[in-house]
Amino acid sequence: MARDKTDVAESTTPKSAVKAQPQPITLMSVVAPAVGWLIPGGGHLIQKRWGRGLLLMLSVVAMFVLGVLMQGKVYAFNTGDILDILGFVGDLGAGGLYIVARALDIGRGAIDLATADYGTKYIIVSGLLNIISAVDAHDIAIGKKK
Amino acid sequence: MTLSHFTAALVFAFFASIVFGITQRNEQREMVKYGAKCFVFFVIGTIAAGWAMWLLRH
């Protein structure tokens, strides 16, 4: 009976009252996503989530490299077509990989294969997945996730 | 490097599912389950889209 009362009390608690408290900004909550963006999986690795970090690194790097090997396009900063702009934003998410690719002038050739378009999408998605990974590293740093 | 359309979609699904599994769940067991579920949905979606395009063409 007492348990029932507790359940009722919990169910009638206003949602605003159980809203998560704002998390304090710690050094790790800033460094982890930044490192995670720059080095895929790095945000997890510096928080000693070795398995997760290595798997994220493998996935993001493999997708980026496969995209380049498929002769996908690496977008540069542009203010032209909206899809080109979004392509750049997606690519930029890959962090260090994008910087290295641009520095080595990779992925700027003319697309002459049907599957090169897949390569372009691989590169963009690897960047987007890296952003998700960096956000996850931030969640771990603030204690929102184990 | 040249992959077939289906192989490219499978490889894409594999790596994307790993990231989704790790980032969208808290427990290790749940991560594996969610990753596997995402992969299956990706593959089913790919096959369904393939058949849909075949039907549109014929």
ipTM for the complex shown: 0.91
Question: What are the structural domain ranges in chain A?
Answer: 27-141
> Could A125 and B16 be called an inter-chain contact, meaning their C-beta atoms sit closer than 8 Å?
yes
Out of A59, A66, A146, name the one closest to residue B19 (CB).
A59
- The alpha carbon of residue B58 is apart from the nearest alpha carbon of chain A, in Å, by 22
Q: pTM of the entire structure?
A: 0.85
Tens of pLDDT along A60-113? 999 999 999 999 999 999 888 999 999 999 999 999 999 999 999 988 766 667
Tens of pLDDT along A40-75? 999 999 999 999 999 999 999 999 999 999 999 999
State residue A17's pLDDT score: 53
State residue A46's pLDDT score: 96
Q: Residue A96: is it exposed, middle or buried by C-beta count within 10 angstroms (0-12/13-18/19+)? A: middle
Q: Which residues of A touch B11 (CB under 8 A)?
A: 66
Long-range contacts of A86-91 (CB under 8 A, 24+ apart): A87/A120, A87/A124, A90/A123, A90/A124, A90/A125, A90/A127, A90/A128, A91/A123, A91/A124, A91/A127
Query: Does pLDDT of A120 surpass 70?
Result: yes
Nearest alpha-carbon partner for A90 in A132, A50, A52, A57: A132
Confidence of residue A130 (pLDDT cuts 50, 70, 90): very high
Query: Does pLDDT of A16 surpass 60?
Result: no
Which residues of chain B register pLDDT less than 70?
Answer: none
Q: Locate the chain A residue with the closest alpha carbon to B5.
A: A115
